[in-house]
Structure 1
């Protein structure tokens, strides 16, 4: 059974809220179409987007480690997310990881950009028509990340989809990351489970994302 590490710390804050929070956690961790690592990465991504770098981050780091996520994978997730959520918040996040006792980085090698292809290259070409300078910066940032070891493309895309949901970037960014996730093996059920799991981080955001992804049939409005 998945360990909801740190849940006992909520009881002194408010025992009823603690029960509700544990129920929400079991909703996410019980989903069948996301891997354990992906569920952990959704929580860790949400901590950056809100941001929640105190007790929630501590709980999610503890939970991730308890369920087999390697410390270096947590670091790689946060390296990947820097241009999506903003470099400044990652400075604070890495400080918090150190305070929480996460081991020092294993990878200190120079970053080697890898030329983009497929949907990522197409997105940069589209952006060139809007602003060539922005397109060049975007290409550089993407080329430094998407082919790195430590996380799969599907894991990276799911984390980016979590950012899209929480930031409500429900246009081109959402479509790009959904396409990347699908190209790496995600199915509609994977994306549905992602939204179901993210519901604990804000129902209205998830409702809007569900409509934007077109995963559900359109239901007629009541008169």
Structure 2
């Protein structure tokens, strides 16, 4: 594999390389996320920022070093396209294919998942569907389509998908309805509040002030959830 390493960053500017290395090391210390999760979120951040030069190549290298393959990376891009935007994900897909060709990396096997573009219904929770339908029926139909087309994804876990969409929320600062839903999805997939916090904190190297704002919102969401659970427990007793 001839993808760039951290040495390439050192050659560009030793001081910057030291700053970046210290920042990434500190942000990953004691993280409740797995190395695989951390690199997936780095790739999502690249898509959101349309960062497809050396950082993207370094992250592709790290993904391959952590056991992800070309099919996994494509599933990630297919999955986040509805939140990052299809044009942003398409640009990432094009660059990924270029990197594979330039460096002689294994490409995709052609394995995918079954689309349900012409079906009806949606895996979206009924309450959320009703809320969005009341807001705008046409948009609700679009959301249903996005959800149906991703129903059979299997290479990226539900927890990883939740963290990925949370990352999009932080970097796009969509910290209202969608962030609440994605945090709930992560917790529903078994992630602990500390792990959800770590997923938000992982975005700091892509823009610290956005992470700061997101952590404040997350604190409020977790406190609200804890209060609700306490009330439910007291009612059950």
Whole-angstrom distance in 2 between the partners of 1:31 and 1:135:
40
RMSD: 2.1
Structure 1 residue 180: Cα displacement = 0.4
> What does residue 94 of structure 1 align with?
93
Whole-angstrom distance in 1 between the partners of 2:41 and 2:164:
6
Distance 1:204 1:158, change over 3 A: same
Is contact 2:32–2:195 with CA below 8 Å preserved after alignment? yes
Structure 1 residue 40: Cα displacement = 0.9
Distance 1:121 1:154, change over 3 A: farther
> What does residue 74 of structure 1 align with?
73
Distance 1:31 1:45, change over 3 A: farther
Whole-angstrom distance in 1 between the partners of 2:112 and 2:181:
30
> What does residue 46 of structure 2 align with?
47
The residue matched to 2:11 in structure 1 has which SS?
coil
Greater fraction of residues in helix? 2
Q: Could you tell me which of 138, 148, 152 is aligned with 1:143?
A: 148
Q: Could you tell me which of 181, 188, 205 is aligned with 2:193?
A: 188
Number of residue pairs matched by the alignment: 212
Structure 1 residue 31: Cα displacement = 3.8
Is contact 1:76–1:151 with CA below 8 Å preserved after alignment? yes
Is contact 2:159–2:186 with CA below 8 Å preserved after alignment? yes
Structure 1 residue 211: Cα displacement = 0.9
> What does residue 160 of structure 1 align with?
165
Structure 1 residue 55: Cα displacement = 1.0
TM-score between both structures, scaled by the size of structure 1: 0.87
In structure 1, runs of 5+ residues without a counterpart are 218-223
Whole-angstrom distance in 2 between the partners of 1:16 and 1:172:
41
> What does residue 111 of structure 1 align with?
115
Distance 1:61 1:51, change over 3 A: same
In structure 2, runs of 5+ residues without a counterpart are 224-237
